[in-house]
Amino acid sequence: MDYFHIMEYIHIFGIYTMGMNFERIKQKLTILADAAKYDVSCASSGSKRTNDQKGLGDSSGMGICHSYTEDGRCVSLLKILLTNHCIYDCAYCVTRRSNDVQRAAFKIQEVVDLTIHFYRRNYIEGLFLSSGIFKSPDHTMERLVAVAKKLRLEERFNGYIHLKSIPGCSDELMYEAGLYADRLSVNIEIPTVSGLKLLAPEKNHADFTKPMRKVQQEIQKYRNEHKIIRSTPKYAPAGQSTQMIIGATGETDKDIMYSAAHYYTQYQMKRVYYSGYVPISEDARLPSLGSQVPMLRENRLYQTDWLLRFYGFSVQEIVSEEHPNLDMDVDPNLSWALRNLHHFPVDVNTAEKQLLVRVPGLGLKSVHKILHARRFRNLDWDHLKKIGVALSRAKYFLVCASRHHDHKDRQASQIKALILQNSSGKFRSTYSDQLSLFQ
């Protein structure tokens, strides 16, 4: 064979073996990305891992969404399961052992390679690795940790790594996981203990909270030591998160939000995610196939979550015994304002920040601009509009440097009707029958 033929042979052979390999990886990717997609966590921010050794990757800045799926959700991490083999049979989960689906498993090196090749092409911010539980919780967690360790130590990878904490795994493994991962999460999935008994009888509540508590304590310990010894190795710098499934067990919004508030305060969660239940099988305990994903409800819960975390509301102000469920036709901030008209109107030019952020239609950014701008002059409606305030809602709750005011002695129901009449909402069709009450 002459040189040319040898080169051609190598070339073709190269493509051939590579092609086989890629085909298998592609199959696994299809199955294991599909199985991981119901986990909605996507954050890639909040870490402090700088690339100071000329390695690969940097996750010191804000998170980046590199793409968006056709359902409108952000894609920032390669989100996959290590395997969808599982010894458990939780009714709400697509990978439960009794479900008739194709099973697959990645090798540790395959996940490492995929992450690195995707990252180098600027497709992703990092890896989100979860898994079905095979053999035992510890056996599974060990492999998740092995992937993260390999990425950090062998590939000198500084991108973002989010690992699932496997319920029931040992404290030692949880400790090791935090050394390599930026974020750790355990999904509570079912907000009430009774719901968990019904849908996942093999698991108990304590299995979920134990790894959470361990991680929380380690983060606290790291913070204390870091104050004294700056070189203390990082421990889960982007903290913990969890997820709850919405609309699978007939829980109220109050159940969900009180539970969320509990995890925020007791476990210092960075985020609680709410995932509208997507019917995946026919099971008498669950909503039937073909029932709507509760997207509007999910949206209202996120709005509430934001009110708690950034707007200074306490959970009791939003949902309570008298109001166990959020309004569907208006957002929770407006809903609160309508129930508490005695706090209004608020004067844009003098009110304190804590009051301004509670005005429906004023967001944190608008308030920031208002606080700066009003040092130079008294603001009127025109200024507010240019700054970008949602006046359609805010005007009923504000006074400013103008003689014209929409805050007259109106009843809450009148204000609500006016706002609904003069605005449009993408979810309006889902509750249009309620509208007629005000017309």
Partner 1 sequence: MSTTKTLIYDGSFNGFLTAIFMAFDEKLDIADIQRNGRAQNGLFSETETIFTHLEKAKRVWNGIRKKSYNALTNVYFAFLSETEGVELLLLDYIRKVMGASNGVPFNFSEDTVLYIAQLAKKVGREKHRMEAFVRFQLTKDNLYFANIAPDFDVLPLISKHFKNRYADQEWLIYDTKRNYGIHYDLNGVEMVSLDLTEIHHNRISKSDVFTVEEHAYQDLWSTYFASTNIKSRINRKLHTQHVPKRYWKYLPEKKVS
The 15-44 contact track toward partner 1, x by CB under 8 A, reads x--xx--x--xx--xxx-xx-xxx------
Which one of 87, 105, 179, 295 is in contact with partner 1 (CB under 8 A)? 295
Instruction: Sort 46 into a burial class: Cβ within 10 Å, 0-12 / 13-18 / 19+.
Output: middle
Q: Which of 144, 125, 96, 114 is nearest to 26 (CA)?
A: 114
The 153-192 contact track toward partner 1, x by CB under 8 A, reads ---x------------------------------------
Instruction: Verify binding: residue 312, partner 1, rule CB under 8 A.
Output: no
- β-pairing, 74-75 vs 67-68, is antiparallel
Phi, psi (rounded to 5 degrees) for 240: -120, 155
User: Cβ closer to partner 1: 34 or 171?
Assistant: 34
Taking the complex as a whole, how short is the minimal distance between the CB of residue 45 and partner 1, in angstroms?
A: 13
Instruction: Verify binding: residue 57, partner 1, rule CB under 8 A.
Output: yes
Instruction: Verify binding: residue 227, partner 1, rule CB under 8 A.
Output: no
Which one of 45, 46, 66, 103 is in contact with partner 1 (CB under 8 A)? 66
Taking the complex as a whole, how short is the minimal distance between the CB of residue 67 and partner 1, in angstroms?
A: 6
Which one of 369, 393, 395, 416 is in contact with partner 1 (CB under 8 A)? 369
Instruction: Name 67's Cβ contacts closer than 8 Å, sequence gap at least 6.
Output: 74, 75, 123
**Other CB atoms within 10 Å distance of the CB of residue 248:** 25
User: What is each CA distance from 133 to 17, 83, 105, 149, 293, in whole angstroms?
Assistant: 32, 8, 12, 20, 27
Q: Which stretch binds partner 1 (CB under 8 A): 77-85, 88-96, 178-186, 431-439?
A: 77-85
The 243-282 contact track toward partner 1, x by CB under 8 A, reads ---------------------------------x-xx---
Taking the complex as a whole, how short is the minimal distance between the CB of residue 22 and partner 1, in angstroms?
A: 5
- Cα distance between residue 96 and residue 88, in whole Å: 6
Helix, strand, coil shares of the chain, percent, nearest 5, are 45, 10, 45
Taking the complex as a whole, how short is the minimal distance between the CB of residue 361 and partner 1, in angstroms?
A: 17
Taking the complex as a whole, how short is the minimal distance between the CB of residue 398 and partner 1, in angstroms?
A: 16
Instruction: Sort 95 into a burial class: Cβ within 10 Å, 0-12 / 13-18 / 19+.
Output: buried
Phi, psi (rounded to 5 degrees) for 430: -75, -15
Cβ atoms 373, 366 nearer than 8 A: no
User: Cβ closer to partner 1: 124 or 188?
Assistant: 124
Which one of 152, 162, 203, 383 is in contact with partner 1 (CB under 8 A)? 383
User: Cβ closer to partner 1: 50 or 220?
Assistant: 50
Copy the structure tokens of residue 330: 């208006």
* Type of residue numbered 239: G
Instruction: Verify binding: residue 4, partner 1, rule CB under 8 A.
Output: no
- Cα distance between residue 363 and residue 394, in whole Å: 10
Q: Which stretch binds partner 1 (CB under 8 A): 168-176, 370-378, 413-421, 428-436?
A: 370-378
Helices (H) and strands (E) in the chain, counts: 16, 10
User: What is each CA distance from 136 to 88, 172, 180, in whole angstroms?
Assistant: 10, 15, 22
User: Cβ closer to partner 1: 126 or 345?
Assistant: 126
Instruction: Sort 29 into a burial class: Cβ within 10 Å, 0-12 / 13-18 / 19+.
Output: middle
Cross-strand partners of 162:
128, 183
User: Cβ closer to partner 1: 156 or 405?
Assistant: 156
Instruction: Verify binding: residue 103, partner 1, rule CB under 8 A.
Output: no
Instruction: Verify binding: residue 233, partner 1, rule CB under 8 A.
Output: no
Instruction: Verify binding: residue 432, partner 1, rule CB under 8 A.
Output: no
Which one of 48, 372, 385, 405 is in contact with partner 1 (CB under 8 A)? 372
Q: Which stretch binds partner 1 (CB under 8 A): 68-76, 91-99, 174-182, 302-310?
A: 68-76
What residues line the site for partner 1 (CB under 8 A)? 11, 14-15, 18-19, 22, 25-26, 29-31, 33-34, 36-38, 50-51, 54-58, 60-61, 64-75, 78-80, 114, 117-118, 120-123, 156, 276, 278-279, 293, 295, 369, 372-373, 375-377, 379, 383, 386-387
